[in-house]
Amino acid sequence: MRTTRTPLLRASAAAAVLLASSVALSACATSATPAGSASATSDAAIGAVDLSGVCPANIVIQTDWNPEAEQGDLYQLIGPGAVIDSNKKAVSGPLYASGAYTGVNVEVRSGGPAIGFQSVTSQQYADPTITLGYANTDEAVQLSADQPTTAVFAPFEVGPQIIMWDPATYPNVKTIADLGKTDAVVRYFGGATYMDYLTGSGILKAANVDGSYDGTPANFVAAGGKDAQQGFATVEPYVYQHEVDAWDKPVAFQLINDAGYPIYASALSIRTGDLDKMSPCLTKLVPVLQQATVDYYKDPAATNDLIVKAVSEFNNGWVYSAGVAAYSAKAQVDLGLVGDGADKTVGNFDLDRVQKIIDITTPLFAAQGKAVAPGLTPDAIVTNKFIDPSIGF
């Protein structure tokens, strides 16, 4: 699903772990649905929300990985007759809002291997048919000069990225800062901006971090609990305890957010240059996204079934179990990863928080020779213009 490098690495971690622990299940994958895309034409009457005329007939949403419960709000949009396209690695169908047809189609496209492991933003700029795509706040800062995006909806209140460790080996470690006081090696995907923050701020020792993490549990297991590694609160705690037989016990973790790096993860974003012309659509669409988020977490079971079925039919070597999906949906709520902000509204942005990420990452990117847009301000990369403040959990 996503980290602060390119979003593909978020998913790569979960993907490789699941592949390593459950590869035998891939033989059980169902046969792929014939390629195609669902038509926006529907016999159903258009309900209270009519997106036809103001939105594209096919609203395309580009994610950063294979289908997973962290994308549940998007799959919640798909009404009856969903089409799983195993060639395009996409799921499409009539777009529904609160059980009623909206007059348009929605297509949820997978990222990662489906787009050659490039960033979602790069894919958006290469393919003008994409309406919205995932972008972390730090990535939006990084690409603000050359590929600017503006986030219009934040599905996560708190990003799911974590550092995890063995609680039996480190019983007194409760935070990443505590871990930094030990000699534990912390493995992560090289190039992650959050790690530059953790080492630059002295939370972790630069000498103790290792950017060679490959997404598999092999090194963590082989170290017998001595080493720590990156992960996602929505995946690894369940997988390591229930699906990695060589480990088969709990891990402890802290969210990167709680260590002082509060990005908005996987924020649905539009190419900034398209913002004005898409405003009539977004005015109606964003509240639909807000309500779909609330509806999914109230009862995720049916949507999770579609997600797991899509992964199976994609049959691309990655396995995503119903157990992980159920755990993820519950963990997102229990850990406060999804929910309302301080103002009881789902999906909006705290501009002070966005400014904090700009302040943290701008010098980090400068040190890497990556210039951000001059004078970058929060309202250049996020907007609450389309948020309905009355919609929340």
Q: Is residue 351 part of a domain?
A: yes
Q: What is the pLDDT of residues 263-297, one digit of tens each?
A: 999 999 999 999 999 999 999 999 999 999 999 99
Do 31 and 124 lie in one domain? The reply is: yes
Q: Is residue 166 part of a domain?
A: no
> What is the Cα–Cα distance from 297 to 387, expressed in whole angstroms?
19
Domain boundary among 206, 238, 259: 259
Do 295 and 334 lie in one domain? The reply is: yes
Do 12 and 56 lie in one domain? The reply is: yes
Q: Is residue 2 part of a domain?
A: no
Q: Which two tokens stand for residue 225?
A: 């609990």
Q: Is residue 1 part of a domain?
A: no
Q: Is residue 164 part of a domain?
A: no
In one-letter notation, the amino acid at residue 300 is P
Do 197 and 91 lie in one domain? The reply is: no
Q: Say if residues 197 and 285 touch (Cβ distance below 8 Å).
A: no
> What is the Cα–Cα distance from 319 to 314, expressed in whole angstroms?
10
How confident is the model at residue 41, as a pLDDT? 56
Q: Say if residues 147 and 273 touch (Cβ distance below 8 Å).
A: no
> What is the Cα–Cα distance from 59 to 233, expressed in whole angstroms?
30
> What is the Cα–Cα distance from 366 to 77, expressed in whole angstroms?
40
Do 78 and 145 lie in one domain? The reply is: yes
CATH code, 207:
3.40.190
- In a structure prediction context, what are the per-residue pLDDT tens digits for the chain, which is 393 residues long? 344 322 233 333 333 333 333 332 222 323 333 334 444 457 889 999 999 989 999 999 999 999 999 999 999 999 999 999 999 999 999 999 999 999 999 999 999 899 998 999 999 999 999 999 999 999 999 999 999 999 999 999 999 999 999 999 999 999 999 999 999 999 999 889 999 999 999 999 999 999 999 888 999 999 999 999 999 999 999 999 999 999 999 999 999 999 999 999 999 999 999 999 999 999 999 999 999 999 999 999 999 999 999 999 999 888 899 999 999 999 999 999 999 988 899 999 999 999 999 999 999 999 999 999 999 999 999 999 999 999 999
Count of structural domains, the chain: 2
Do 58 and 140 lie in one domain? The reply is: yes
How confident is the model at residue 332, as a pLDDT? 98
Q: Say if residues 349 and 389 touch (Cβ distance below 8 Å).
A: no
CATH code, 141:
3.40.190.10
Do 154 and 191 lie in one domain? The reply is: no
Do 148 and 231 lie in one domain? The reply is: no
- Residues in a beta bridge with 186: 209, 228
**DSSP character string of 11-52:** HHHHHHHHHHHHGGGGGGPPPPPPS----S--SSPB-S---B
Domain boundary among 200, 234, 259: 259
Domain region containing 70: 8-158+263-381
Do 144 and 276 lie in one domain? The reply is: yes
Q: Which residues of 219-231 are buried (b: 16+ CB within 10 A; e: fewer)?
A: ebbebebebbbbb
Do 110 and 187 lie in one domain? The reply is: no
Q: Is residue 326 part of a domain?
A: yes
> What is the Cα–Cα distance from 241 to 384, expressed in whole angstroms?
39
Q: Residue 125 contacts by C-beta under 8 Å, 6 or more apart in sequence?
A: 147, 271
> What is the Cα–Cα distance from 215 to 209, expressed in whole angstroms?
15
3-state secondary structure 141-208: HHCCCCCCEEEEECCCCCCCEEEEECCCCCCCCCCHHHHHCCCCCEECECCCHHHHHHHHCCCCCHHH
Domain boundary among 259, 288, 305: 259
> What is the Cα–Cα distance from 7 to 29, expressed in whole angstroms?
26
pTM of the model: 0.88
Q: Say if residues 12 and 66 touch (Cβ distance below 8 Å).
A: no
Q: Is residue 165 part of a domain?
A: no
Do 125 and 37 lie in one domain? The reply is: yes
Q: Is residue 84 part of a domain?
A: yes
Do 202 and 69 lie in one domain? The reply is: no
